[in-house]
Structure 1
Amino acid sequence: MVSRIGGLASGMDIDSIVEKLMQAERMPLNKAFQRKQTLEWQRDAYRNVNVATQKFKTFLNEKMWLQNQLMKKTATSTNENLVSVKATSSATGSLNIESVAQLASATQMIGEQKGHTGTTKLSDLVGESVKSIELRAIDKNGNIAEKATTISFDPTKDTINELVKKINQSNAGVTALFENGQLSLTANNTGSVKSGSGEIVFGQGKELFDALGMDNATTKLGKNAILKVNGISMERSSNTFTISGYEVSLKSTFNARAGAIDRQSAAHLELINAQNAQPGLEADRNNKLGVYNSYKNGTYKDEHERIFGKNNLTVEQQEKFDKLSDVGKVSLLNATDLTELQSLSIDFTDTESIKSSINNSSLTDEQKAKFLRLSADDLQVLKSPDGGALLQRAQQADFENSYKALDKKFLDSLTDDDITFLTNIKGKDNAAIDLELAGQSDEVKKKFSKMDRVDLNRLAELSDSLKDFQQFSAVEKTNNENLAAYKTAETNVQSGLKRIAEAQKSYDNANEAVNNTPVDTSPTVTPVSLTSTTDTKSIKESIQEFVKTYNEMLDTLNGLLKEKKYRDYPPLTNEQRQDMSENEQKLWDEKAKSGLLRSDSLIRDGLAKIRSQFVSSVKGLGDDTIDSLAEIGITTSNILSDGGKLVINDDKLDAALKKDPDQVVQMFTNVGSITTITDEKGRKVTQDSRGITYRLRDEIDALTKNIEKKAGKEGKTEQTYTLGKQIIDSDNRITKLQAKLKDIEARYWKQFTAMEQAINKANQQSGMFMQGGGF
């Protein structure tokens, strides 16, 4: 470190002189800092572009992406007192509700009255061993819940009232009520379960319900709604359901007797059809089972035994074989190894002595290594008189496992040339394999050159068996196909049995409805007609919001492209900021940040591609007079200062919506694709059937990706994007300049210190001369 002498001898303000000299030297460093600051501001400006485009994309996803986001429909009923209706976006055509024979109702179980009160402890009912109950109930789709709901409690602390509260707060699907010593359970969902299992099913802890009188409960069975729609009699588990896009709510029965008889007839016919179909399903299942068993016990078995050997183990020997923990290690032994093992006197019950006994035996080192890899149990099994048969079977099993480990698609793809190559490299080292591979055809090279050498050597070891493996692979494939066909047929049989059970249940329900519905002497009620209309007003409002949101994004991006750049306002250095007020710094920064993306090609090109999506038509919609934005009244403003904003011609949009609102919606939401076709003149023509929303999203994604390549995104390291790498370069330059300035400042101080020392020495000599003259 340089010793600094600050002008004591010369009388000069060395600190001030060095500071002024360093101000000039710091200019490159200041420019480097300003360069870094500009890059960081530019990075943030690019990211703000993505914020603006992602805002528009979010709007597209939430409001314009799906047909039901745009398409709103209203529905009307000709008799709201009998049937009310709502329309979903998929509502089509019209529905005629000709009769409602029965409304859906929920199952209710009312237990026998007992002498308990709500404060009775559960332990007083069933003791302390029962700590939970299980319930299953009918779900909203009319099926019994697949999984039971478990409700836990402390029998020594919890009371009946607390149990009721826990049931009601659970997802068991029932409402419990306890009053006057009686427990009532009501299914939350209406309807009758088709499986016939009941709508409320007890599982674990049923004895608690029995203690509360539910074993002698009075049960009011749930019922399905029975109705006739467009000539078809049907059942629904709820009084509110969706059909053909209409959400229908049944409020009252009408034409009930005729409707019940219609349902009885339809249900009976379905039952007969289901019963008549079942023998055919069972015959098909039996036939496919026969085909599978015949092939499995014939061709498949013969080929398996030919290639992998026959399992000749007795039942007792197979039990011993199954005890072997690692068949692969056992298969490495040979007959000589087994003979040596059986001659050894080893206590296999003493695990500690096995290792030393083997090591101290007369076995070869290779044999010792093989045996030490085996467990004590394996060695004991192999030492039995059946060891030879077990060893042979282990070798068969290991060989079969080598086949199972092969990729069957790869195995089937092997040609004669491939197998010849594998045969030639068996047992060779990598250098020899490379030499052999060099002389092969391009097809062989392509298949094996990139294969791991260990895997390649294993495959080569099996080369003599690959032909057999290929033949067995074909046989195994047929066997598996036969099995799959049988399983499908068995599934069909089970589905048929379920169909019969459900048809029987429906028929029973219909019979009950007929028996419970008296003859109606009142006049026949006119069928209730349900119709829907498209709400074009909501579609228009969505399109108007789309144009407004797009124009807002356009304003933001155009503002950045046209923003004025103030070249006389570079970023402030720390020293400059110290001489300015906070307000002055703010005003300066505003000008310094202005115009960072002025005429930026990345944004300009991205905007151009986005705008181009509004020009071309959406192919494949049908009516070619409503397949582009211009045809429905949405065009680009002809005012230059608007910068390409969209404007709406209300009259044209209203006319298009009136003519075909569905196609107007499709123009935005159609999934579509980009395809190339050949026209009648033989020219290649590109057609785009993607909707406007899909096109815009794809272009926004492309712009976003390009910006992220240049400016990254939050959380990304600077090495992963272009501006980040430039910022790193600026940091490196700043570090080097700082080190250089430190050396320069040290040099200045060294020079001035030397000057001070020289002046001081001259002054001392002068003083000596003056003293000498006085003498």
Structure 2
Amino acid sequence: MIDLRINGFASGMDIDSMVRDLMKAESMPLQKMEKEKQELQWKRDDYREMNTLLLDFRSQLTQMKLTTSYRSREVSSTDESKVTATASSAANETSFKISEVKQLASSATLKNAGPITADGEEIDESKSLYPQFGKFDNQSTETWKQGAIDKQTITAESDGQVIELGEDVIDRAAMNVQVNGQGYKVVTDETATLAEDEVYVSSAGELTFADGVIQEGSQVSVEYVKDAHSESKTLESDISGYQLAGGSIVNNANFQLDIDGTTYSIGSATGEENEFNLEDADGGTIGTINTNTGRLTFDNELSEGTNLSVNYQQNYSSFSVGAHTDEGETHQNFLVTGDESLNQVVNKVNKADIGVSMMYDSFTDRMTISRTETGNFNEAGNEIMRNGTFINNMLKFGSGTEEGGDNAVFSINGIQDTERHSNNFEIDGVTFNLKQTFTEAEGPVSINVSNDSGAVFENIKEFVENYNTLIDAVNGKVNEEYYRDYGPLTDDQRESLTETQQEDWEERAKSGLLRRDSILQSGLNSMRTDFYSPVNNEGTTSDYNQLASIGITTTSNYMDGGKLEIDEAKLKAAIEDDPSAVESLFRGSSDEYGQQGVVHRLYDTVNGTMDRIYDRAGRTTSTNQQFTIGRNLNDVQEQIRSFQDRLTQIEDRYYSQFTRMEKAMQEANQQAAYMQQQFGGGMGMMG
């Protein structure tokens, strides 16, 4: 926009300065509005600061509502070498007598039948199993089979859905099927009635579960065996090698490598471990294959655009492991490829979350499977189950022996020979830990549960200290000095002050905005009443029905504004004498018998005060329209905007007036100059 204002060309006056001076007077109401806006913002922030303190104190009140703040139990044992115990806040102050422990709970452990390798042989548990198979003591021909292991994870789209793998399955009994992480036993008889932990698998790769197992969104994970792997691709760049998806490649007629129409098979050994030539029908070679790792290495680089396809089978084995546990019977099938090591097999079992752990000891060349929890969960027999030639024959668990899996047997409070699955068990809020067996003749072990009065005292003391911190802050705000002569600084005022002077001024300007505030004063008065008023409910007694009776009173200095102080000896004595009454005084709920405890009263008061502050000052996430000060800010902002528009009009009017004046003076000057010229010309002619 072109500025058409004329600035003193004719008059010689500084029009801009004159207009600025005139506008300063016109802008006085605007400065007042800006100050009002700033004060509203400061007041809003002060309120929110108070609400933050109240919120912190309410969190402390929430803690003080819990029994754990008043029932911190300590437990003693007359013989900690035999029995120890801990107690929760739910435990009563009581005692237990364990007269004997006949048997400790133990974990079931299945130990295999002997060393897994033949005499004089030694395996490397970190290397592939199939190349080391000749070192094992039991070399059953049924251990390793040929096929291709594949995996799929399918999300059920509807309840009761039949899961389809989309390809044929061989060796169905070896499949590992899990739904949401839980293993299922495979059934191959389509006429069988499925139990909840079973799945029927057809040879076409369809999985059917019992009613209710598959829900929409269920994650079904399947590891299975198909006849062969098939891979094909057109090379996108030159390559000197290719890695097959699987390892432990079988050297048989199923292996076919096709490169641009020429077929290669596994031929003669190169002399390197597990390495063979890749030969065409005429005996020509294109490279080598490591049958253990599945790595193809070419004599010459295959160029970009070459078509490569390969079909192959893997050496694989399978086994299953399960256990009787506290949550029922577990089961999982495991598929093992020949390129996996014994360590990998052990890790598979240990990570399966089926309640067992497997171990190999290289010194004795023996293995164990242990249940991860103690106790007897199968009265009819063994706790650990296993199946498959790999685990029963090759690893020799089939004829192994199981030990342990016993419940703890003990006598407590006159009850003879009760049992628990674990040496750690809970009775009435007390957790016992049986450490060794002993007889009645060796003497009973007494467990005594008492209140930890020291911990309760510290909880109450911390609560009082937090209350005093809150009272101090709120009192400071409602009694803060108000400086009437100090308001928000204008831009002109800031220019005349140093930075330090500005900070001092603003500190006074912000002070006292909530002085004698009705919301905060009302909240303070209510909290004082909450503390002072007696509490009469079912749990309190006439001796302990108000805070003063347990040694908590207001300070003698009225300037403290109702802060509390503790007579520590008196409070400790009350906690020792009647901890239940002290608890009821603080956290007792209102009921048909009487009033709320101090903590519940305070909680309601703090909540009410916070709600009133929210109504007035909102939250940081609130819009201005949702709280009183915000609406006031909107009103002031609208007034400011309207007044700024008015000032713009006034300023334009002033400039318009001065412009007309300048034009008039310019015209007058032009006329005077013309007349002077005319008169000057006439005089010359007469002369």
Give the whole-Å Cα distance in 2 for the aligned partners of 1:151 and 1:556: 65
Q: Secondary structure at the match of 1:241?
A: strand
Matched, 1:218 2:401: yes
Give the whole-Å Cα distance in 2 for the aligned partners of 1:151 and 1:738: 80
| Aligned pair partner of 1:540 in 447, 457, 460 | 457
Q: Deviations over 1:550-575 (max 9, x none)?
A: 00000010000000111211112344
Indicate how the Cα distance of structure 1 residues 606 and 155 shifts in structure 2: closer, same or farther if over 3 A, else same: farther
Give the whole-Å Cα distance in 2 for the aligned partners of 1:159 and 1:95: 52
Matched, 1:631 2:549: yes
Give the whole-Å Cα distance in 2 for the aligned partners of 1:718 and 1:151: 63
Give the whole-Å Cα distance in 2 for the aligned partners of 1:79 and 1:558: 55
Contact 1:621 1:667 in 2 (8 A): yes
Structure 2: where are the runs of 5+ without partners?
A: 118-122, 134-142, 150-173, 178-182, 184-320, 682-687
| Aligned pair partner of 1:576 in 493, 497, 500 | 493
* Letter paired with 2:568: D
Q: Within 5 Å, which residues of 2 pair with 1:673-752?
A: 673=590, 687-688=594-595, 690-752=596-658
Post-superposition offset of 1:674: 5.6
Post-superposition offset of 1:49: 0.7
Indicate how the Cα distance of structure 1 residues 526 and 60 shifts in structure 2: closer, same or farther if over 3 A, else same: same
The aligned counterpart of 1:659 is: 577
* Letter paired with 1:218: T
Indicate how the Cα distance of structure 1 residues 588 and 196 shifts in structure 2: closer, same or farther if over 3 A, else same: farther
The aligned counterpart of 2:68 is: 68
Q: Secondary structure at the match of 1:758?
A: helix
The aligned counterpart of 2:477 is: 560
Contact 2:50 2:474 in 1 (8 A): yes
Contact 2:590 2:597 in 1 (8 A): no
Post-superposition offset of 1:195: 6.9
Indicate how the Cα distance of structure 1 residues 145 and 700 shifts in structure 2: closer, same or farther if over 3 A, else same: farther
The aligned counterpart of 2:98 is: 97
Contact 2:323 2:329 in 1 (8 A): no
Matched, 1:118 2:35: no
Contact 1:138 1:145 in 2 (8 A): yes
The aligned counterpart of 1:78 is: 78
Give the whole-Å Cα distance in 1 for the aligned partners of 2:85 and 2:505: 64
The aligned counterpart of 1:248 is: 432
Q: Within 5 Å, which residues of 2 pair with 1:225-304?
A: 225-233=408-416, 234-255=418-439
Contact 1:151 1:170 in 2 (8 A): no
Aligned length: 489
| Aligned pair partner of 1:176 in 358, 366, 375 | 358
Matched, 1:30 2:35: no
Q: Within 5 Å, which residues of 2 pair with 1:179-578?
A: 179-180=361-362, 181-193=365-377, 199-201=383-385, 209-210=391-392, 211-233=394-416, 234-255=418-439, 524-578=441-495
The aligned counterpart of 2:502 is: 585
| Aligned pair partner of 2:664 in 758, 762, 768 | 758
Post-superposition offset of 1:248: 1.5
Give the whole-Å Cα distance in 1 for the aligned partners of 2:39 and 2:339: 71
Matched, 1:650 2:568: yes
- Structure number with higher strand proportion: 2
Contact 2:358 2:370 in 1 (8 A): yes
Post-superposition offset of 1:137: 5.0
Give the whole-Å Cα distance in 2 for the aligned partners of 1:122 and 1:613: 75
Q: Secondary structure at the match of 1:215?
A: coil
Give the whole-Å Cα distance in 2 for the aligned partners of 1:731 and 1:136: 73
Post-superposition offset of 1:585: 2.2
Indicate how the Cα distance of structure 1 residues 22 and 246 shifts in structure 2: closer, same or farther if over 3 A, else same: same
Indicate how the Cα distance of structure 1 residues 649 and 762 shifts in structure 2: closer, same or farther if over 3 A, else same: same
Give the whole-Å Cα distance in 2 for the aligned partners of 1:599 and 1:177: 74
* Letter paired with 1:173: G
Q: Deviations over 1:472-491 (max 9, x none)?
A: xxxxxxxxxxxxxxxxxxxx
Post-superposition offset of 1:59: 2.1
Indicate how the Cα distance of structure 1 residues 215 and 49 shifts in structure 2: closer, same or farther if over 3 A, else same: same
Contact 1:67 1:666 in 2 (8 A): no
Give the whole-Å Cα distance in 2 for the aligned partners of 1:602 and 1:756: 60
Q: Deviations over 1:437-489 (max 9, x none)?
A: xxxxxxxxxxxxxxxxxxxxxxxxxxxxxxxxxxxxxxxxxxxxxxxxxxxxx
* Letter paired with 1:119: S
Percent of residue pairs identical: 36
Contact 1:97 1:227 in 2 (8 A): yes
Q: Secondary structure at the match of 2:398?
A: helix
- TM score, norm. by length of structure 1: 0.59
The aligned counterpart of 2:20 is: 19
Give the whole-Å Cα distance in 1 for the aligned partners of 2:497 and 2:334: 71
Give the whole-Å Cα distance in 1 for the aligned partners of 2:613 and 2:330: 50
Post-superposition offset of 1:161: 0.4
Contact 1:144 1:199 in 2 (8 A): no
The aligned counterpart of 2:46 is: 45
The aligned counterpart of 1:160 is: 342
* Letter paired with 1:737: F
Contact 1:36 1:731 in 2 (8 A): yes
Contact 1:92 1:244 in 2 (8 A): no
Contact 1:560 1:597 in 2 (8 A): yes
Give the whole-Å Cα distance in 2 for the aligned partners of 1:187 and 1:570: 76
Give the whole-Å Cα distance in 2 for the aligned partners of 1:153 and 1:57: 56
Indicate how the Cα distance of structure 1 residues 5 and 662 shifts in structure 2: closer, same or farther if over 3 A, else same: same
Indicate how the Cα distance of structure 1 residues 528 and 674 shifts in structure 2: closer, same or farther if over 3 A, else same: closer
Q: Deviations over 1:223-272 (max 9, x none)?
A: 1100000111310111122223322211211127xxxxxxxxxxxxxxxx
Q: Within 5 Å, which residues of 2 pair with 1:609-620?
A: 609-618=526-535, 619-620=537-538
Give the whole-Å Cα distance in 1 for the aligned partners of 2:668 and 2:336: 103
Q: Secondary structure at the match of 1:216?
A: coil
Give the whole-Å Cα distance in 2 for the aligned partners of 1:194 and 1:91: 34
Contact 2:40 2:629 in 1 (8 A): yes
Give the whole-Å Cα distance in 1 for the aligned partners of 2:378 and 2:606: 51
Give the whole-Å Cα distance in 2 for the aligned partners of 1:96 and 1:733: 81
Give the whole-Å Cα distance in 2 for the aligned partners of 1:197 and 1:666: 52
Contact 2:336 2:345 in 1 (8 A): no
Contact 1:138 1:189 in 2 (8 A): no
Deviates more, 1:123-132 or 1:113-122: 123-132
Post-superposition offset of 1:646: 0.8
- Structure number with higher helix proportion: 1
Give the whole-Å Cα distance in 2 for the aligned partners of 1:157 and 1:592: 79
Matched, 1:598 2:515: yes
* Letter paired with 2:408: A
Indicate how the Cα distance of structure 1 residues 231 and 599 shifts in structure 2: closer, same or farther if over 3 A, else same: same
Post-superposition offset of 1:18: 0.6
Give the whole-Å Cα distance in 1 for the aligned partners of 2:429 and 2:625: 53
Give the whole-Å Cα distance in 1 for the aligned partners of 2:336 and 2:25: 84
Contact 1:153 1:163 in 2 (8 A): no
Q: Secondary structure at the match of 2:442?
A: coil
Give the whole-Å Cα distance in 1 for the aligned partners of 2:50 and 2:330: 50
* Letter paired with 1:624: S
Q: Secondary structure at the match of 2:670?
A: helix
